[in-house]
Chain A
Amino acid sequence: MTAHDRPLSPHLQIYRWHLLMTMSILHRASGVFLALGTVVLVAWLLALAAGPESYARMNAVIGSAPGLVFLFGWSAALFYHLCNGIRHLFWDAGQGYELPAAYASGYGVLVATVILTLAAWGGACLILGGV
């Protein structure tokens, strides 16, 4: 194979940084992270099925500081992947490819991710506080 003799297409570092490429790779990264998180989801269901003791152990792990950081990251990744996934579905339907539209939907996804993540954790804190 003489792959190194062939002309190569320009790689990432050639291009000026812009929002759309960052959001593109973040979609993939959040997807991989969510896939890893499914292991925790399944473990949590198995713990619930196994009985009160194992469920308490599982909740202690999730409720620990590293567990909560993971859960926060997982929720943010979920909301980002969800919102940006809807943006991708519109692209699949041929909508919103123009640069202004792509940027507008991009900023919309970022704002929606922050709002939904804060709303979810704010709601959980309110319910924990007994509202």
Chain B
Amino acid sequence: MMDMRKPLARVRGLGAAGEGVGHWWAQRVTAVALVPLSLWFVISVVMLAGADYATMHAWVAQPWVSVLLILFIIATLHHAQLGMQVVIEDYVSTPLLRMASILLVKAVAVVLVVAAVLAVLQVALGG
């Protein structure tokens, strides 16, 4: 079969969407990262069931807990917005509405990430 693509396009492998497998791969990488991170988070929250403010504050303030929490939140929201983008692309067929809702989801994800990281840092650094 004749290949209509130029050699350079084939080497770049970016395909029709212009981003290759970047989106797909990022979703898998964050998925793998989230297996241990989400298990750690759930087990920790279960162990802390009924903990008061001081206990919870002291827990988050531990350096390795702050680090894992920030990683968990970044990986979760990156994974979530990648997934929501696919869902919107599948079900919203109006081009303008589709782009608007994808951008809105990404904007909300960025706001949530920055807010959560700031909150963890505030607790960790004792602000």
Which A residues fall within an 8 A CB radius of B? 28, 31-32, 34-35, 38-39, 41-42, 45-46, 48-49, 52, 55-56, 75, 78, 82, 85-86, 88-89, 92, 120, 123-125, 127-128
Contact = CB atoms under 8 A, between A and B. Distances in A.
B contact patch SS: helix
B80 A42 contact: no
22 contacts: A32-B84, A34-B80, A35-B81, A38-B77, A41-B76, A42-B73, A45-B60, A45-B120, A45-B123, A46-B115, A48-B119, A49-B123, A78-B38, A82-B35, A82-B39, A85-B34, A85-B35, A89-B32, A120-B42, A120-B46, A127-B47, A127-B50
A86 B35 CA distance: 8
Residue with the greatest number of chain A CB neighbours at <10 A, chosen from B56, B77, B112, B123: B112
Given A38-B77, A89-B28, A127-B50, A45 B116 contact: yes
B32 to A, nearest CB: 7
A127 B119 contact: no
A123 B122 contact: no
B31 interface: yes
Contacts of B118: 49
B120 to A, nearest CB: 6
